[in-house]
Amino acid sequence: MPRIKQLQQLIRFGISGVAGFLVDAGIVALCTQTVGMKPIPSQAVAFSVAVTVTWLINRHWTFAEHANEKWLYEWTRYVAANSVGAVVNNGVYGILVLTLTLFSSNPVLAVAAGSLSGMSFNFILSRLFVFGSSPT
């Protein structure tokens, strides 16, 4: 695959991630501030919706030429891949704030590092595992 195509996919994947973040944050705010839900269940609801939104964007825009007609199969793999990416994101964040003063005193830097790590992981898994293989 030409480098320009890979870069285009990465940019589109990043835009999809921003959309997912906005959906995630909006639902968490709605659930906690309006509905009165606790933060953890609110995030569970928000993640479920946000990951579906990003899958739809990536399925129809970022990786459209690789979308699988077995959409439930594809969605399941996407959720699994992004769940692993979420663990990477939060793991990087936790390790940095717990081990390095720079990040514990500036946790937003750790958020950025975790987000970039998680996004990179999700992009690679999405290209190879979700949109780069066919059902068995």
Q: Examine residue 85 and state whether it is found in any structural domain, yes or no.
A: yes
Taking CB atoms within 8 Å and a gap of at least 24, the contacts of 3-7 are none
What are the tens digits of pLDDT across the range 87-123?
999 999 999 999 999 999 989 899 899 999 999 999 9
Whether residue 27 has pLDDT greater than 60: yes
pLDDT of residue 135: 52
Counted domains in the chain: 1
Q: Examine residue 7 and state whether it is found in any structural domain, yes or no.
A: yes
Whether residue 136 has pLDDT greater than 50: no
Instruction: Tell me what the pLDDT averaged over the chain comes to.
Output: 92
Q: Examine residue 136 and state whether it is found in any structural domain, yes or no.
A: no
Q: Examine residue 38 and state whether it is found in any structural domain, yes or no.
A: yes
pLDDT of residue 68: 93
Q: Examine residue 34 and state whether it is found in any structural domain, yes or no.
A: yes
Q: Examine residue 107 and state whether it is found in any structural domain, yes or no.
A: yes
pTM: 0.85
Which DSSP symbol is given to 134? -
Cα(73)–Cα(107) distance, integer angstroms: 37
Q: Examine residue 135 and state whether it is found in any structural domain, yes or no.
A: no
- Domain hosting 103: range is 3-130
Cα(55)–Cα(61) distance, integer angstroms: 10
Cα(46)–Cα(3) distance, integer angstroms: 34
